[in-house]
Amino acid sequence: METPLLNGGDGPVSELIGGDGDYAPVKNVKDATAVFWLETVKLWKIAAPLVFQIICQFGTNSLTNIFVGHLGELELSAVSISLSVIGTFSFGFMLGMGSALETLCGQAFGAGQIHLLGVYLQRSWIILLFSCLVLLPIYIFATPVLKLLGQDHDIANLAGQFTIITIPQLFSLAINFPSQKFLQAQSKVDILAWIGFLALVGHGLLLWLFISVLGWGLLGAAAAYNFTSWLIPVAQVVYIFGWCKDTWLGFSWAAFKEIWAFVRLSVASAVMLCLEIWYMMSITLLAGHLTNAVIAVGSLSICMNVNGIEAMIFIGINAAVSVRVSNELGLLHPRAAKYSVYVAVFQSLLIGLLCMVIILVARDYFAVIYTDSKTLQQAVSKLAWFLGVTMVLNSVQPVISGVAVGGGWQAIVAYINLACYYIFGLPLGYILGYVADFGVTGIWGGMIAGTSMQTLILLFILYRTNWTKEVEETSKRMQKWGGQDIKTVKNDNNI
């Protein structure tokens, strides 16, 4: 079994580790440098494969759009709308519901309660399958939903047809996310990267076969999308059943007991992440009602696409720091949890600042990749400062969210997101964009203000966090959200 313990071994590194396995207090620059390097290695050992996996997942959608784009403009618009609006909505909700497993499995693994991981995994599968049923009407009635959001009727009709065909993909998420979080908690991330890569290659071959060779059109695109979406969780489950003998002990009736405690944490996780994901989506919807909507939406779409590429890096770091924090809290290592957070936030901030510098230097040129329109290129250039600031904020904010998931603070962060994003940022953006008539810069500026407030509040909470107290609360949280006595679950009868 892999272990998150701080193994110092012999030499200078061993001097950093105390008798309890936690870091000794940092007393000088030499100690700080050594801890920084050790935590950097631990962080990126988890984050690098996850970033690669997320890029492969992003590539699956991109490949679908590329192949569909050769069918026609209407088909491309319809599939793009289906994947970006309906798909992103369900993806955010299901990812949030699955993130409860990230907290509990990470802390249980760190605490050595490995018999709980399989029970938590089964419980999350049950909850997410029911969540799919809740989301199902959105897929069935996608056409009227998209028309209600102001989409062109022809695009909405075709997008609705494509969305209905991809209902199997929705249910794949119910198996995918819990299995992914189960493996992440144990730092078994290399297998996730390999599965993601092979799925991406297979998806490209299926798209070529179904669309280019067999001529199935949108039906072929949907079939390839569904098949690839199910290939990933099936491969993960096969690996869990075959190669996770320590943490997968078979199906258990315990998964059905006291399930509501787990549901509460899942809902809190879903609300926290959905409020973040949907916040940046809303800027495009608001811009769609401006006077010069074509240029506004076009320039914003280019900026959001660039921002989305950077975001893949920080989603990986988000998951990695969540694993590090939850594992170390479970191990009763407060200083290791604290230092892992500081290193992750610092490195993410540096990456964000570097991305901002690159965008500002290339502000007159990078839009050429996306469009030949000089008007659109100039509009993107004017938004470069907003994009750069957003990149910096989005470099720190996802990492703090990962800390929240690892520590079990989802409910608190959900309230902060609601206040900063939807009570402050969104109304301010509307006022600046429409009332003050600043247009798209006003909308984006107001929303940046909301993100800035949220980031500052979360940074203050991190600064004031008593990590020793967090360690003391870990066992209570596992019993509260796990919904059972951690000492007796392993004796429960299996199915």
Helix pair 439-464, 293-330: axis angle to 10 deg: 10
Average pLDDT score over the chain: 85
Above 70 in pLDDT, residue 491?
no
- Average pLDDT value for residue range 168-197: 94
Q: Read off the pLDDT of residues 64-116 as tens digits, 9 standing for 90 and up.
A: 888 888 888 788 878 878 887 888 889 888 988 888 788 888 888 888 888 88
Nearest to 91 by CA among 57, 141, 123: 57
First to last CA, the chain: 24
- Average pLDDT value for residue range 145-150: 84
Does residue 353 fall inside a structural domain? yes
Measured in degrees and rounded to the nearest 5, phi and psi for residue 252 equal -140, 145
Measured in degrees and rounded to the nearest 5, phi and psi for residue 376 equal -70, -40
Does residue 135 fall inside a structural domain? yes
| pLDDT given at position 487 | 47
Count of domains for the chain: 1
DSSP string, 237-264: HHHHHHH-TTT----BGGGGTTHHHHHH
CA–CA distance, 83 with 286 (Å, rounded to integer) = 19
Cβ atoms of 107 and 330 closer than 8 Å: yes
Above 90 in pLDDT, residue 367?
no
The residues facing 252 across adjacent strands are 494
| pLDDT given at position 482 | 64
Residues in the chain: 495
Does residue 376 fall inside a structural domain? yes
Output the six-digit token pair for 24.
Answer: 């000794």
- For the chain, what percent of residues have pLDDT higher than 90? 42
Which range has the worst mean pLDDT, 65-79, 244-258, 409-423?
Answer: 65-79
Which range has the worst mean pLDDT, 6-20, 27-41, 118-132, 439-453?
Answer: 6-20
Does residue 221 fall inside a structural domain? yes
Does residue 154 fall inside a structural domain? yes
Q: What is the domain extent for residue 450?
A: 37-489
- Average pLDDT value for residue range 36-63: 90
Which range has the worst mean pLDDT, 125-139, 203-217, 238-252, 302-316?
Answer: 302-316
CA–CA distance, 182 with 113 (Å, rounded to integer) = 13
Cβ atoms of 208 and 63 closer than 8 Å: no
Does residue 419 fall inside a structural domain? yes
DSSP string, 31-56: HHHHHHHHHHHHHHHHHHHHHHHHHH
Above 80 in pLDDT, residue 150?
no
Q: Read off the pLDDT of residues 374-404 as tens digits, 9 standing for 90 and up.
A: 888 898 899 999 999 999 988 888 788 888 8
Residue 322: alpha-carbon gap to chain centroid:
11
Above 70 in pLDDT, residue 306?
yes
Report the chain's C-alpha Rg in angstroms. 23
Beta strands in 191-252 (DSSP E): none
CA–CA distance, 369 with 437 (Å, rounded to integer) = 30
275 band by pLDDT with thresholds 50, 70 and 90? confident
Does residue 232 fall inside a structural domain? yes
Highest mean pLDDT among 99-108, 322-331, 368-377, 478-487: 322-331
Does residue 19 fall inside a structural domain? no
494 band by pLDDT with thresholds 50, 70 and 90? low
